[in-house]
């Protein structure tokens, strides 16, 4: 047992003891010291060999080096966590649907807020559910119609990029969404094959502040135009030409 990493031995030893006592399969990941003295991640597995009466005669075990796989998995996990923090900080929603129009990815902020008598579902609870059913459940039929045409166009291969702006009625917030195809590639025998569309990716950004700023600017421009018109009218009324004619 001296070849085990001390932290992993605390986990592996009880699991192996449980398997010996119950006959359940032993399966765990642990770090073992290599010939060079470095620790490498291993996958340990053991299954019982039984006689006709079910009595355990011996155990058959394997030990597989999965060090590179574990490092890649952990790096991907860290990258995903960092991406999640960036998405949350940027106040965007990253989502995707598959070819059956079912939600396959949902990260970032909720675009919809549940009403007083509704419960906001967890993000994971939306996965695998038809995006159109989600819109209907949330009473967002007006948005459904805005999303359906560009999304279906991309799935049909008729468009590579669609952008729409939609107001969410439950919050009054505006979102600008860019839709692009989710591209995958066939692969067989280690050889890359043809690319194909396997869904749609959506990136939705809250543009409520920009919309409000645009409305404020439009209002100020209108107010300035009104003041200018009043000023011109006043000058015209008080001009010598106007006084003579009166």
User: Which has more confidence, 201 or 229?
Assistant: 201
**pLDDT above 70 as % of the chain:** 88
Residues 173 and 207 in one domain: yes
- Using pLDDT thresholds of 50, 70 and 90, give the confidence band for residue 114: low
CA dihedral 27, 28, 33, 34 (to 10 degrees): 50
Residue 196 lies in a domain: yes
Residues 206 and 159 in one domain: yes
Residue 11 lies in a domain: yes
Residue 222 lies in a domain: no
Residues 121 and 185 in one domain: yes
Any idea what the CATH number is for the domain that residue 39 is in?
A: 3.30.450.20
Residues 98 and 200 in one domain: yes
Residues 121 and 58 in one domain: no
Residues 34 and 108 in one domain: no
Q: What is the pTM of this model?
A: 0.60
Residues 108 and 165 in one domain: yes
pLDDT at 151 exceeding the cut of 90: yes
**pLDDT above 90 as % of the chain:** 41
How many folded domains does the chain comprise?
2
Q: How far is CA 38 from CA 1, 31, 41, 52, 217, in A?
A: 15, 9, 10, 43, 64
Q: Residue holding tokens 């999304």?
A: 151
Residue 146 lies in a domain: yes
> 26: domain range?
6-70
Residue 60, pLDDT score: 93
Residue 26 lies in a domain: yes
Residue 81 lies in a domain: no
Residues 65 and 145 in one domain: no
Q: Which of 183, 195, 172, 170 is nearest to 96 (CA)?
A: 183
Residues 52 and 103 in one domain: no
> What average pLDDT does the structure give for the chain?
85
- Tokens for 205? 């950004």
Residues 13 and 97 in one domain: no
- Residue-wise pLDDT tens digits, 167-216: 888 788 899 999 999 998 876 666 667 889 999 999 999 888 888 887 88
Residue 61 lies in a domain: yes
Domain boundary, last residue among 17, 40, 70: 70
Residues 133 and 64 in one domain: no
Residue 199, pLDDT score: 95
- Residue-wise pLDDT tens digits, 59-79: 999 999 999 999 999 988 888
CA angle 226, 231, 236 (to 5 degrees): 125
CA angle 46, 51, 55 (to 5 degrees): 75
* CB 204, CB 111: distance < 8 Å: yes
Residues 144 and 112 in one domain: yes
Residue 99 lies in a domain: yes
């Amino acid at each position: 047992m001296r070849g085990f990493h001390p932290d992993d031995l605390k986990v592996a030893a009880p699991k192996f003891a449980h398997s010996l006592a119950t006959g359940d399969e032993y399966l765990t990941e642990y770090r073992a010291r290599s010939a060079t003295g470095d620790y490498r991640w291993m996958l340990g597995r053991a299954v019982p060999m039984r006689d006709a009466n079910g009595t355990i005669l011996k155990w058959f075990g394997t030990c597989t080096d999965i060090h590179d796989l574990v490092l890649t998995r952990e790096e991907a996990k860290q990258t995903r966590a960092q991406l999640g923090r960036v998405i949350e900080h940027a106040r965007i929603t990253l989502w995707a649907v598959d070819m059956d129009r079912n939600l396959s990815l949902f990260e970032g902020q909720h675009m919809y807020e549940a009403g007083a008598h509704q419960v906001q579902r967890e993000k994971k609870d939306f996965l695998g559910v038809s995006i159109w059913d989600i819109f209907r459940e949330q009473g967002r039929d007006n948005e459904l119609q805005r999303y359906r045409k560009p999304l279906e166009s991309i799935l049909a291969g008729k468009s590579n990029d669609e952008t729409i702006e939609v107001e969410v009625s439950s919050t009054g917030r505006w979102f600008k969404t860019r839709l692009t195809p989710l591209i995958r590639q066939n692969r067989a025998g280690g050889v890359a094959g043809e690319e194909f569309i396997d869904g749609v990716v959506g990136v939705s950004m809250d543009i409520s502040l920009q919309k409000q700023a645009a409305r404020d600017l439009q209002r100020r421009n209108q107010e300035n135009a009104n003041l200018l018109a009043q000023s011109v009218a006043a000058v015209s009324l008080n001009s010598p030409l106007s006084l003579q004619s009166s």
